Chain A
Amino acid sequence: MNQLLTAQGLAGVVFLTVSAAVVIGALIAVNSKRLIRAVTGLCLCLIGVAGLYYFLNSPFLALMEILIYVGAVGVSIAFAIMLADPRPEKKGNRATGLGAVFGFIGGGFLTWGLIKTGLSTHWQGAAEKVNDGSMLQLGKSLLTTYSMVFELISVVLLIAIIGSLALGRRGRSNGPGKISG
């Protein structure tokens, strides 16, 4: 028990906590009956993933994960549920019978195969690292080596915003639902 009170012991406890948050959050996200609980599970899982990124020496990506996924994607999915899902219990939210069995077998097989491949391969690390992967190095390479990709992804995001606005308007004005707006 004394071992847990050192700094390393506390770090281990925090690591186990975030790992449990990832797996439990993912299970809530796929198994809950109400969609809004699924979004909550997704947010829990992504906060856990951000903690794992912190353990992987990249605090910048941990912050970005919380900002983009939990902040932007989670909130917009919650808004979409509020706009589009007034009767969540109408038909039940999950497949039954063959679909569930196939999904369970397929997911289990994929997990088993990935774990077996990962554990049985002898991964060869690099002999030496060219930099330490800090936030400073990340910013430098984003604006020098990867600047073209950086600009392209900005254009993709802009097109996505314009496209989602156009899609939302078209569904409102002349769809067969005859909802004038």
Chain B
Amino acid sequence: MLQLSANLNTYLIIAAFLFGIGFYGLINRRTLIGMLISAELILSGASLNFMAFNRFLAPDPVVGQVFTLFIMGIAAAEAAIALSIIIAVYRNYKSIAAEDLNDLKG
């Protein structure tokens, strides 16, 4: 039990759970903000996978850290854009439920 943190498989299992839970939430949520939260979970699962392989297998342990930093930057940009779109949608439709957004020209 105490050697779990020095084992690649532990991190792979945790990352797989994060990815699967995020996918479930992305299908299951009805509101746009809930979908955005689930997408963040999926991105975290991918980053955790990168970091685990970077720590245990990669010849250059800097590459995975740089890649994870760039994933964080892209995720921050994505969250900013998505939230401003959500607020603009809310001003027009008075709702953020995905099934209410059914007009092509709102």
Contact = CB atoms under 8 A, between A and B. Distances in A.
B92 A160 contact: no
Contacts of A99: 27-28
A27 B21 contact: yes
A65 to B, nearest CB: 7
Nearest to A167: B84
Nearest to A22: B14
A77 B36 contact: yes
B97 A91 contact: yes
Nearest to A103: B27
A11 B62 contact: no
A76 B12 CA distance: 29
Nearest to A130: B60
B17 A95 contact: no
Give the interface centre of B14, B19, B21, B74 by most chain A CB atoms within 10 Å: B21
A157 B59 CA distance: 30
B30 A26 contact: no
Contacts, number: 274
Nearest to B84: A164
Given A106-B24, A114-B20, A119 B12 contact: yes
B77 interface: yes
A149 B73 CA distance: 11
Contact of A29 (B38, B77, B88): B38
B101 to A, nearest CB: 13
Given A29-B41, A110-B20, A133-B65, A80 B91 contact: no
A29 B55 contact: no
Nearest to A79: B83
B81 A160 contact: yes
Given A49-B48, A85-B96, A115-B13, A76 B58 contact: no
Contact of B80 (A52, A65, A160): A160
A23 B14 contact: yes
Nearest to A160: B77
15 contacts: A30-B25, A30-B37, A35-B33, A49-B47, A77-B36, A81-B33, A100-B28, A118-B9, A138-B65, A141-B66, A157-B73, A160-B76, A164-B80, A172-B91, A177-B91
